[in-house]
Structure 1
Amino acid sequence: MLKSLARATLDLILPAQCLACTEPAGGAGQLCAECFADAAFLTPPLCSHCGLKLTEPAPLCTACDWDPPVFRAARAALRYGPAAKRLILPFKYADRPEAARGLARLLLQPGAELLARADLLVPVPLHKRRLAARGYNQAGELARALARLTGKPLLIDALIRTRATRPLAELDQHDRAIALHGAIAIRPGRAAALHGRTILLIDDVLTSGATASSCAGVLYQAGAAAVDVLALARVSDDADT
C-alpha cells in the first residue's frame, strides 16, 4: 500500500516519461509519439505457430512447416530491432526492473488470445549466477507485472536452470539444442501445480524459440495441458541484433 501511494504521489509531481527515452509521454508506462512511431509492432500476417512476421498470409512460416517448436503458439509485441532494443536492453542490463510495469502493458494486445486461455503464467528462468549478478530475472519481473494487470495466477519459480549455458545468439539451431539439453527443469515440488494447466511462458525476447521449446518440453513432461509463449520482442531472420 505504501509503495502504491508513493508511486501515485511521484506520478502527480513528476511528468510521465517515455519508456524508451526521457521525453514526456501521455502517461506512466507509455511511449512518446516519436518512439511509438518508431516501434516496429508485430501485426498480421504472422506465423500461427511461432509468431514470426510473414511477408504474405500463410498458416505457417517455412521453419514451423518443416520443424515446429515444442510450444503450441507464440506471440510478441515488437520486432527486435533498434526501437525494441531501446526498450529492452536498459530493462535487462541497466538495473531497471521498475520498467516491467510499462513494458507488460505492451503485451496485453498481442497476447490477448493467449492470456484469455492461460491458467498460469510462468517466466523463463535465469541461472542463479546470472540472477545474482543482475539482481532480478527480467522475465520474472514481466510475468509479475502481467499477473497484476490481468489477474492471472503466477508461478514465479516453476522452472529452474540447472546449469549455465553459453549465449545462444552466437550458436546455430543445432548447437542451441545441444547447449540447452538438460539445462532447464521443473523446480522440485512444483509439478503438481502445473499438471493439467494451460501455461503461458513469459520472456523478454524470442529468438529461435530454442529456450522456449526447452521450457515447454519440461512443462509437458510435468503434465501441462498446453504451453504458449508471450514475449516483448521477436527476432526475425533479417533483424538487426
Structure 2
Amino acid sequence: MMRGVLQTLVGLIYPPRCLSCGEQVESDFGLCPACWRDTPFLGGLVCDACGAPLPGEGDGARIECDDCMARPRPWDMGRAALLYRDQARRLVLALKHGDRTDIARPAAGWMARAAAPLAGQGMLVAPVPLHWTRLAGRRYNQSALLARHLSDRLGLDLCPDLFQRVIRTPSLDGRGTEERAEVLRGAIRAHPRRRERLAGREVLLVDDVMTSGATLAATAEAAHAAGAARVCVITLARVAKDT
C-alpha cells in the first residue's frame, strides 16, 4: 500500500512526459499523440532479409527487396521497428548522441514486436560492438542498451560482449555499399572468451540503425565464423531508399 502511495506522489510531482517533446502523457516512456503520429512505425509487407518496406501484400512466402536479391545478406532474416526519418530519426540521434538512454527501454518494446517472427527458443541476443575508444568517449553502446532491454522483453539470453570491434574504423557516413563493406573487413570478431557460446547457436544481432547493412554483415560473418547455426538481425530503425 505504501509503495502505491509513493508512486502516486512521485507521479504528481514528476508527471510522465513524452519521450520526444516533453508534453505530459498518461504513462512513463510514452509518446504524446502528435509525436506518435510523426513516428513512422514499420508494418505491413517488409523485406524478410532487411526489414525494408515493400508495396503490396504478402502471400506467406519469403519475399526480399531488390537490394537483398542483388546482394544476399550473410544472415537469415531481418526486421526493423521504425523507418529512419522524422520523429524516428530524432529519437535515434537522441539515444545515440544525446545521452537519452531512457529511450532504449520503450524502443526495445517496439523492436520486440518487430522481432516476433525472428525470435526462437534458446536464441542468444548480442549487440553490434563499438571499438573501445568510441565506447570510452560515448560512455555507452546504444546497441547494447537496446539489446539488454530487448532480451528482457523476449525472455532470451544476452551476451553483451559476444563480439569485439578490433579495428577503429572511420565514419561510414557518405560511403557507398562496397566501400562500407571494405572498411569493415576484418574489423569485427567473436570475443575469444565468448565464442564457445556461438557454436551451434541461433543469434539475434541488435543495432540502432541499418543503412547499407555493412556493420551487421561484418558481425554476422563473425558469428558464422565462430560456428553460429543461424543469424537474424533486428534494428530500431531502417534507412529506406525512398526516404
Same fold (TM over 0.5): yes
- In structure 1, the gaps of 5 or more residues are 1-5
CA deviations over 1:148-171 (Å, ceiling 9, x no partner): 223211000000111111221211
Per the alignment, residue 202 of structure 2 pairs with 198
- 3-state SS of the aligned residue for 2:114? coil
Higher mean displacement: 41-50 or 53-62: 53-62
- 3-state SS of the aligned residue for 1:231? strand
- 3-state SS of the aligned residue for 2:52? coil
In the alignment, structure 1 residue 42 sits paired with structure 2 residue 42: yes
- 3-state SS of the aligned residue for 2:212? coil
In the alignment, structure 1 residue 17 sits paired with structure 2 residue 17: yes
Tell me if structure 2 keeps the 8 A contact 1:46–1:52: yes
Residue 87 of structure 1 deviates from its aligned partner by: 1.1
Which aligned pairs between 1:1-241 and structure 2 lie closer than 5 A?
10-11=10-11, 13-57=13-57, 59-117=63-121, 119-239=123-243
CA 1:96 to 1:117, structure 2 compared with 1: closer, same or farther past 3 Å? same
CA deviations over 1:189-234 (Å, ceiling 9, x no partner): 1111111111000111011111111100010111111110111100
Q: Partners of 2:175 and 2:149 in 1: how far apart?
A: 31
* Structure 2 residue identity aligned to 1:46: V
Q: Partners of 1:90 and 1:17 in 2: how far apart?
A: 15
* Structure 1 residue identity aligned to 2:215: T
Q: Partners of 1:199 and 1:178 in 2: how far apart?
A: 24
What is the aligned residue count? Answer: 234
* Structure 2 residue identity aligned to 1:20: S
- 3-state SS of the aligned residue for 2:118? helix
Tell me if structure 1 keeps the 8 A contact 2:111–2:234: yes
Tell me if structure 1 keeps the 8 A contact 2:80–2:234: yes
Residue 13 of structure 1 deviates from its aligned partner by: 3.9
CA 1:188 to 1:78, structure 2 compared with 1: closer, same or farther past 3 Å? same
- In structure 2, the gaps of 5 or more residues are 1-5
Q: Partners of 1:10 and 1:140 in 2: how far apart?
A: 29
Residue 142 of structure 1 deviates from its aligned partner by: 0.6
Q: Partners of 1:52 and 1:224 in 2: how far apart?
A: 25
Tell me if structure 1 keeps the 8 A contact 2:121–2:156: no
- 3-state SS of the aligned residue for 1:139? helix
Q: Partners of 2:125 and 2:12 in 1: how far apart?
A: 32
Tell me if structure 2 keeps the 8 A contact 1:139–1:202: yes
Residue 30 of structure 1 deviates from its aligned partner by: 1.5
CA 1:145 to 1:230, structure 2 compared with 1: closer, same or farther past 3 Å? same
Q: Partners of 2:7 and 2:52 in 1: how far apart?
A: 37
Q: Partners of 2:73 and 2:125 in 1: how far apart?
A: 19
**RMSD value over aligned CA atoms?**
1.9
- 3-state SS of the aligned residue for 2:224? helix
Residue 10 of structure 1 deviates from its aligned partner by: 4.6
Identity in percent: 40
* Structure 2 residue identity aligned to 1:16: P
* Structure 1 residue identity aligned to 2:241: D
Higher alpha-carbon Rg: 2
* Structure 2 residue identity aligned to 1:156: P
Residue 109 of structure 1 deviates from its aligned partner by: 1.2
